[in-house]
């Protein structure tokens, strides 16, 4: 919901006050290019490495306890693939931005998409971090399984 709200606000600004988000904003002008891809590449690489570690840890816990983590694995897989997909979308934004007519609305929309992609990537990173800290130890899982 937050992502939809953010995108709605950004697109509203893009049409009502594009000067806030177009290339007159020097930060966005200098960021929504190879810098965006570099930043996202770093976030994606770190997040995917963390996701792989969580996946391997879930395998160990599952082997030791017999408890599957289907919902967690599904979320992990969905998050990983969404990061890869949005990295591709960001690449398209960076490629297409200089090709669209330089009308302030068009540039503001491209920059808005870049901001939303960064927000989504950071949200996935936060979600993964929360997941890592929620994974209990094998002994705790065995005790929980014995109690049920």
Look up tokens 């808005």; give the residue: 112
Q: Please give the DSSP secondary-structure letter assigned to residue 25.
A: S
DSSP alpha helices (H): ranges in the chain? 2-16, 26-31, 34-65, 70-96, 104-134, 138-147
Confidence of residue 131 (pLDDT cuts 50, 70, 90): confident
| Contact between residue 61 and residue 99 where contact means Cβ atoms under 8 Å apart | no
CA distance 107 to 105: 6
| Contact between residue 108 and residue 18 where contact means Cβ atoms under 8 Å apart | yes
Q: Which of 91, 105, 55 is nearest to 76 (CA)?
A: 55
Condensed to tens digits (0 to 9), the pLDDT of residues 77-127 reads 999 999 999 999 999 999 999 999 989 999 999 999 999 999 999 999 898
| SS3 call for 67 | coil
Condensed to tens digits (0 to 9), the pLDDT of residues 9-35 reads 999 999 999 999 999 999 999 999 999
């Amino acid at each position: 919901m937050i992502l939809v709200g953010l995108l709605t606000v950004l697109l509203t600004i893009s049409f009502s006050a594009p000067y806030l988000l177009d290339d007159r904003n020097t930060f966005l002008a200098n960021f929504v290019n190879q810098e965006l891809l570099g930043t996202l590449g770093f976030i994606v690489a770190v997040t995917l490495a963390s996701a792989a570690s969580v996946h391997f840890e879930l395998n160990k816990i599952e082997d030791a306890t017999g408890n599957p983590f289907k919902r967690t694995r599904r979320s992990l897989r969905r998050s990983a693939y969404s990061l890869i997909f949005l990295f591709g979308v960001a690449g398209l934004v960076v490629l297409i931005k200089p090709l669209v007519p330089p009308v302030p609305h068009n540039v503001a929309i491209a920059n808005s998409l870049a901001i939303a992609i960064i927000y989504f990537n950071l949200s996935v990173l936060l979600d993964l971090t929360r997941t890592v800290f929620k994974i209990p130890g094998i002994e705790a899982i065995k005790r929980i399984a014995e109690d049920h």
